[in-house]
Amino acid sequence: MQLNSKQNCTFNGFPTHLPELETSAEFSYSGDTGPDKWGSLSPDYKKCSKGKSQSPINIVEDKAVPDKTLKPLRRQYYPVNATLVNNGYNVELDFGNAGVLIGNGKNYTLKHMHWHTRSEHTIDNAPFPAELHLVHKARDGSFSVISILYELGKPDPIITKIQSQLAKLASTGTAKIAVGTFDTSQLWKKTNKYYKYVGSLTAPPCTENVIWHVLGERLCLSLSLSSASLYLSGAPLPSLAVAENRSIDSYSFWSPSLEIHDEFMNTDSEPRSRTTSCQDRRSQLQSLLPQILDSLRSLPPSLYSLLL
């Protein structure tokens, strides 16, 4: 999860400027201002290196404690006018107020969503091609984030819906583009399984006491959209969040209290399949193999022989 700077900071020449949460110094995802240096960039960022409950985490399924008191997640989302925002290091879909996530005795307003590739969270040390963060904020300033992991498969209809605006954002170099009415109720359906823990924002100021819900159900993402090297229209603007993510290795390891809600756990019903409607990854890669080989053959012979 990423929030932004109160200064007109830039990353690769692009401004970073959302008013969601004010921070104080420029940061990036590599080099002298990368994740392993965040804690030293500003006193406001000290939790990035000194915090005791930093996100993301590696979810170890065998250590997730079943909690029968956890209920299915409740949310009341509705269609709103959305704006696509170029933050320089990622692309964000800003809603302002798109309804609420209800939990912990509070209503958390859905403010915006953004992507990471690869995923920031891992499950049993396995990363996923991408991760979607739905960022919610309560009136008291506290945060709750819904995390949805992607598997390779058919194109994501959410991304497909805004593909033309993404291309326009890249080709024009503008900071914001109106998307029009966006039905946020379609972002995720009722989920039978989720992991819950209390962590932090995954970007400066790395504020803690953020409630995370990592959904057990997955979204699908086509191989082309998940490519970390893909740039739209030849411009230096990632199609999603590109390779910008915070590695678990960039801060001290900790083991949170991890709870799991699973409606199929401890019942007499048949074990639930852990698969999704996404195509099998292997079959998709196999179908793309001829295209990949053709691309390789188009390289200069000397380079082609080195690769093979």
Q: What is the pLDDT along the chain (308 residues), one digit of tens a residue?
A: 655 443 333 333 333 333 334 446 888 878 898 889 999 999 999 999 999 999 999 999 999 999 888 988 999 999 999 999 887 667 789 999 999 999 888 999 999 998 887 789 999 999 988 889 999 999 999 999 999 998 887 778 888 888 788 778 777 777 899 999 999 988 887 778 999 999 999 988 999 999 999 999 888 877 655 443 233 323 333 333 333 567 665 555 566 788 888 876 644 444 444 444 675 554 555 555 566 566 656 656 655 454 44
Tokens of 299: 């390289």
**pLDDT for the residue 268:** 43
What is the CATH T-level fold of the domain 52-275, as seen in this structure? Carbonic Anhydrase II (3.10.200)
**pLDDT for the residue 269:** 42
**pLDDT for the residue 226:** 47
Q: In whole angstroms, what is the distance from residue 17 CA to residue 23 CA?
A: 10
Beta bridge partners of 9: 16
Beta bridge partners of 300: none
CA distances from 113 to 1, 53, 149, 184, 273 (A): 9, 22, 13, 10, 28
**pLDDT for the residue 189:** 73
Query: Which residue bears the tokens 């970390």?
Result: 228
**Hey, where are the domains in the chain?**
52-275, 278-308
CB 107 within 8 A of CB 138: yes
